[in-house]
Amino acid sequence: MATTQTRGRPSVLKAKEPDRTWSETPKGARRILYGGLLTALAAFLVVLFLAPLAYMGITSLKSEDMIADQKAPILPSTRATMEFEGENIDILRVPIDGDVRDMGIVQPGRQSSVLVDPDNVEAGTIVWEGNWRTLDPAFEFNPQWGNFSVAWERLDFLLLLRNTLVIALVGMVGTLVSSTLVAYGLSRFRIPWKKAIFIVLIATIILPRFVTLVPTYALFFRIGWVGTWLPLIVPHFFANAYNVFLLRQYFLTIPKELDEAATVDGANPLQTLWHVFLPQAIPALVAVCLFHFYFAWNDFFEPLIYLSTRPDLQPISVGLRQFNTLFDSQPHLIQAGALLSLFVPVIIFIFAQRVFLKGIDLAGVQK
């Protein structure tokens, strides 16, 4: 530390502190920086992921003229107009006195045009020097909510919704009951060749659906199920490898002491399943239900094959595809129909997401 004398008054000269390196930065500051970067990255990925959905929503609120207008903004907007002396005239963005104002064009001209202020019509018209074709039109926000009503009627949405809910909910009950029983047996009982059975069951996951499509269709055709909901519902009453694996892993996390206590109290295996396992496995059961519901809601190929001759039994996925084919030149109606089909799954996921994510998270804890 050095001191200097200035006009009889001592002053202290502080030594300059050396610049800190990154390794010398406090851990708290580094943690905040890392957290900020991670949050920014997550926000960017969320925006990137939701961008197509936002475009779908914006397009569903436009009209054909809005989509065809190359000067139209991204949001659903129509060219602004005003009524002047009994006529409907366009409103343009006009540079006047260093500012850009919205002005109605009364008499367009190549060298000069007659304009009127929409907010002050009583002031009369003014003459603007310039070519009016170089001006940009003014737009006003005008969402077309009627697109949804048109899509609702053209799709016959209530009929498609009924068909889809019947297929999804009945199949969901079947896969929940069958998968629960199979998973319970594989997780608690001594079964000969249990490991081999489980491995074969899991191996069916890698079997493509297209491999079994032809023989399965031939079987259902011979027994007269083609043209009905049965091929889309009955197979789910015989368990599913994904759901069995999910529930088995969850059941393994339940202590065996609870089984023994229930047995001492006189409960049989089914009573133990009902009173001990199922109340604790609600998150996994909800996950299984949602997995199957979304699968049935989005399934397109099999309903198309088995219900091609029965439009009155087709689900939303097939009906929406036919709707898109008929209105392929009207993207606003296509996007409106797609948003209608997304409404029910999104609402269900919003209300059940906590239980659903908890079931997935805890299912892989125990090997």
How confident is the model at residue 254, as a pLDDT?
Answer: 87
Q: Which residues pair with 9 in a beta bridge?
A: 6
Reported confidence tier of residue 153, pLDDT bands at 50, 70, 90: very high
Q: Are residues 206 and 338 in the same domain?
A: yes
Q: Is residue 88 part of a domain?
A: yes
**Alpha-helix runs per DSSP H in 223-313:** 230-233, 241-251, 256-264, 269-272, 278-280, 282-298, 301-306
Task: Please provide the average confidence, as pLDDT, over all residues in the chain.
Answer: 86
Judgement on whether residues 86 and 204 belong to the same structural domain of the protein:
no
Share of the chain above pLDDT 70, in %: 89
In a domain, 235, yes or no: yes
Q: In this structure, what DSSP letter does residue 315 have? A: -
pLDDT score of 22 more than 70: no
pLDDT at 30 over 80: no
Q: Are residues 358 and 250 in the same domain?
A: yes
Mean pLDDT of 153-162: 93
Give residue 217's pLDDT.
92
What CA–CA distance (Å, rounded) separates 29 from 33?
6
Domain end residue (candidates: 102, 137, 172): 137
Same domain, 241 and 163: yes
96 and 165 in a common domain:
no
Q: What is the pLDDT of residue 26?
A: 67
Whether 101 and 205 share a structural domain: no
- Would 205 be classed as within a structural domain? yes
pLDDT of 267 = 87
Task: Decide if 33 is inside a domain.
Answer: no
Residue 130's pLDDT is: 84
Lowest mean pLDDT among 103-112, 189-198, 357-366: 357-366
Domain count, the chain: 2
pTM summary value: 0.79
Determine the average pLDDT of the residues in 246-260. Answer: 88
- Angstrom distance (rounded) from CA 342 to CA 259: 42
Whether residue 366 has pLDDT greater than 50: no
User: Pick from 228, 50, 66, 217: which is nearest to 137 by CA?
Assistant: 66
50-54, 204-208, 268-272, 362-366: the lowest-pLDDT one: 362-366
Residue pLDDT, tens place only, 57-66: 999 999 998 9
d(CA 99, CA 251): 71
Q: What is the CATH number of the domain that holds 216?
A: 1.10.3720.10
Whether 214 and 344 map to the same domain: the answer is yes
Q: Which two tokens stand for residue 3?
A: 């001191």
DSSP character at residue 329: T
Per the structure, the complete domain to which residue 286 belongs is given by 156-363
Q: E strands along the chain, which residues?
A: 2-6, 9-13, 77-79, 81-84, 87-96, 99-107, 112-116, 125-129, 136-137, 139-141
Does residue 3 lie in a domain region? no
C-alpha span between 243 and 128 (Å, rounded): 72
Instruction: Report how far residue 243's alpha carbon sits from residue 222's, in angstroms, rounded to the nearest whole number.
Output: 29
| 177 and 118, same domain (yes or no) | no
Query: What is the mean predicted confidence (pLDDT) over 110-133?
Result: 86
342 shares its domain with 202: yes
pLDDT in the model for residue 158: 94
Mark whether 325 and 187 lie in a shared domain: yes
β-partners of residue 112 are 129
Residue 69 lies in a domain: no
Q: Quote the radius of gyration of the chain (alpha carbons, Å).
A: 34
Model pLDDT, residue 359: 58
Inform me whether the pLDDT recorded for 367 exceeds 60: no
Q: Quick check: 2 pLDDT over 50?
A: no
Q: How many residues does the chain have?
A: 367
Is 25 part of any domain? Answer: no
Work out the pLDDT band at 24, boundaries 50, 70, 90: low
Alpha-carbon distances of 224 from 167, 231, 265, 301, rounded to whole Å: 18, 10, 49, 19
Lowest pLDDT segment from 25-39, 116-130, 193-207, 268-282: 25-39
Question: Within a domain: residue 142?
Answer: no
For residue range 287-326, list pLDDT tens digits in order. Answer: 899 899 999 999 999 999 999 889 999 999 999 999 998 8
Whether residue 190 is found in the same domain as residue 264: yes
In this prediction, residue 364 has a pLDDT band, given cuts at 50, 70 and 90, of very low
For residues 240 and 314, membership in a common domain is answered with yes
Give the Cα separation of 41 and 63 in Å (integer): 35
